[in-house]
Chains A and B, each alone.
Chain A
């Protein structure tokens, strides 16, 4: 395969769309391993599609957005009366989070797949600091959009902000950032896109200096 043939047949796009037969794939791979331009093109397509799969694309207005939003963050926006708060997708999530707090924690992850027309309960998995005991299991179903993790923070951080990261057992960071800490007595609820934890296995949530190991189990 020549570079011109690869371009004219949309080989890179067909590869990304998984439309190629095995022999076609083999021929195209032989080409892109030797063609810097096609290698860049394939890699760029993979970054774009992996990024979308990982939940890094903020949805167009009118669609629910849950990426990396904490319940406490949602409440803060609500109480600050941010512009057009009533149109924000955060509101049903904040309501759901409150319901979850009232109801207490349960031991499985929730899978809110219905449209955000009605309040929905979050069912967080409560994580404990690293110990010798078995790590809590976070069940991620095929149609899960988010997993809800709950941790109790030290009262000293209440109302401030904390940094967090989620890493795989191999040490790859799948999510990280700084988030507002909840008020004293309330847990930190972290909604994590299920796509960020699509591979079953051990993960570690770090909040500040504390590590909370857990295991993702595919349903």
Chain B
């Protein structure tokens, strides 16, 4: 959902360095969600995702405090992303040094968003439920096939009688309807 818009300007960085609680809250929520989305498709467990996220935050904030900010405040997002890339690389590297598991060991894949890697907050669930349940049937059908039944995309295309390009259009529209309903229900 859209968070309250904050300008990533000099003032924002200064407030972050000064540990202003509201700015810190926004920073960790805004980039926390983006980091979760980036990391959950690359790391195999919720614990690894959380560790990498926390490590990214620690490094970004430590660097900002040490240097008193960054040269271009508008580049904060790019900076967070590049720090996360470094953390990811180190996580991969440290993972390759551990003792290999027995041949044939089938490690559980926890990359699907679950209770601990979802961007949903507990208090938002009711609103998400209301918005999803109010979507047009066609949108609901699309979401059901894609995300609940997790059907193969080509199979979804056949079922909905569309090609892959149009599947993206349908998803784009569903997202638009979701956003419109979300805004309608926001006081």
Chain A residues proximal to chain B, CB less than 8 Å:
10, 12-14, 16-19, 25, 29-30, 32-36, 39-60, 67, 168, 170, 172-176, 195-201, 203, 218
Contacts and interface: CB of A to CB of B under 8 A. Distances in A.
Given A34-B77, A52-B132, A199-B110, A43 B115 contact: no
A67 B81 CA distance: 37
A10 B169 contact: yes
B112 A58 contact: no
B2 A53 contact: no
B116 A176 contact: no
B114 A198 contact: yes
Interface in B14-32: 30-31
Tell me whether chain B's interface is mostly helix, strand or loop, or mixed. helix
A44 B114 contact: no
Interface of B: 1-3, 5, 30-31, 33-34, 37-38, 41, 46, 74-75, 77-78, 80-81, 108, 110, 112-120, 122, 124-125, 128-129, 131-133, 135, 137, 140-141, 143-144, 146-148, 153, 164, 167-169, 171-172, 174-175, 178-179, 182
Contacts of B133: 56-58
Contacts of A197: 114-115
Given A33-B80, A174-B122, 13 more contacts: A10-B168, A17-B146, A34-B78, A40-B2, A43-B119, A47-B178, A54-B125, A56-B125, A57-B133, A67-B129, A173-B125, A195-B148, A199-B115
A16 B171 contact: yes
Nearest to B2: A40
Contact of A43 (B5, B37, B74): B37
- 7 A-B pairs closest in CB distance: A199-B114, A173-B122, A33-B77, A57-B132, A33-B81, A198-B114, A51-B128
A55 B147 CA distance: 10
A193 B150 CA distance: 16
Contacts of B37: 42-43, 46
B168 A17 contact: yes
Contacts of B110: 199-200
A128 B105 CA distance: 33
Contacts of B178: 44, 47-48
Contacts of A58: 129, 132-133
A146 B131 CA distance: 22
Given A47-B119, A58-B133, A53 B172 contact: no
